Amino acid sequence: MFFFKFLAHEDEYKWCDYIFQNNVKKQKELEKNIDPGNPNYQFLLMIREYQSQIDYRPLKMSDQVVDNRISVCVRKRPLNKKEISRKEIEVITIPNRDHLIVHQPQVKVDLTKYLDNQKFRFDYTFDENTSNEMVYKFTAQPLVKTIFEQGFATCFAYGQTGSGKTHTMGGDFTGRNQNCASGIYALTASDVFKMQHSQQYRKLNLSVSCSFFEIYGGKVFDLLKHKALLRVLEDGKKEVQVVGLQELPVSSESDVLELIRQGTDMRTAGATSANSNSSRSHAVFQIVLRKDKKLWGKFSLIDLAGNERGQDTGNSDRQTRHEGAEINKSLLALKECIRAMAKNSQHVPFRTSKLTLVLRDSFIGEKARTCMIAMISPGMSSCEHTINTLRYADRVKELGADEGGSSPPMGDDELMLRTDGTGDDGDNEDADLSLVCSRNVSKFNVVLHLWNKKFCNLRGPIKIHST
């Protein structure tokens, strides 16, 4: 048992002790919920042990937003009710603002269990506690200015079905009810209106309009026009036109919310093993700026169909196989177009799929900017899907990297807590002690070391005695 004896400053001690005891209590409650009878119990203990050594420095709302032409981010959702009832274990750890670790359970020939801790690095990583507003700040919001400067912006959510794409783009769900005001569609529109009326852009007299369509089975349907079938053609100027697409003028957030609700209700859905109401189409919500009826800028916000394989749809009929083939074809085409965009290539293969054809403007020109949000599920049963999603995202990140290349992930020695008294000072030392404590109940010496260092820097030394 540990006893603390401060030379002074009892108030600091009481507050520090309160934080520590509170987190110990929470951790004990969590441990009670761990069932030793769970077949994955050993893996869970190994993951907890690994996590207990990590120096957590999560992304904060106050962190600076980096301006990239192609940005790739990852968002982890929390375990859902179905996963909790199955006593799923989480295999995803997000240690800081740009790293992610997948603890992939493995078994050797002699049946010894071990973890393959695969590390990935992206522009931003969002954990399960991150709000839609925070995700928006680091993804779509920096792109809003692009369309006011006669550019084309694209933000798309990618991942397996049930990973949270529609939640992120369309808004939070409460049961079957969706709060569209909290999604990236609506948050983007809100900032567009603010910028439209700002002193800098007011004099341009730009009008705002919206369209909402889906791409299903290689065909395009207008979600604001009773799913009318649309034709996609190239005109004599080599410009792509979606013939018959309804583009409705909007002047307020309430106008946009009504269109989002109307379009979302019309989307094509189907059952998969992961989601009984899975979106089987790519939904494209576009915010268009015009000046004297001529196109000025366009923001395409896309909720992609789930990237699961055919066997995961739970049905092997012809229609389901065709759905999966079209989805995979369009996702591959999207990656190839981003590759061409990153290289400023003269040839962009946008004709490969309907998705990339209607997004042609988003891949051509120096004023085109793209953000990808890779959505992942945290459970062990989704581990293979999660790794596939992350590899796709990692490939997109490499394509969009500067000539110097993308930064590789940190090693364990850089991600773990330092116990030798060395390390960065300043802002880095302001890591959330409460979070660190909750992850390190078994590492009392490390926690005490951090507290001692913290208080020494503030006012004076703390003497630690143990018996």
Whole-angstrom CA distances from 113 to 59, 134, 157, 292 are 32, 37, 34, 66
Whole-angstrom CA distances from 132 to 58, 141, 377, 390, 429 are 16, 12, 16, 20, 27
How many residues appear in the chain?
Answer: 467
The CA distance from 77 to 376, in Å, is 7
Sign of CA dihedral 63, 128, 451, 16: positive
For 355, residues 6+ apart whose C-beta sits below 8 A from its C-beta are: 215, 282, 284, 330, 333, 334
The candidate with the shortest Cα–Cα distance to 406, out of 120, 84, 35, is: 120
The CA distance from 306 to 313, in Å, is 10
Q: Tell me if 335 is assigned to a ligand binding site.
A: no
Q: Tell me if 404 is assigned to a ligand binding site.
A: no
Q: Tell me if 171 is assigned to a ligand binding site.
A: no
Strand partners, 126: 75
Q: Tell me if 311 is assigned to a ligand binding site.
A: no
Q: Tell me if 297 is assigned to a ligand binding site.
A: no
Look-up of token digits 């032409």: 69
User: Strands 368-376 and 294-303, how do they pair?
Assistant: unpaired
Q: Tell me if 217 is assigned to a ligand binding site.
A: no
Q: Tell me if 164 is assigned to a ligand binding site.
A: yes
Whole-angstrom CA distances from 11 to 8, 17, 365, 433, 456 are 9, 10, 60, 17, 15
Query: Known binding site for ATP: residues?
Result: 159-166
Query: Known binding site: residues?
Result: 159-166
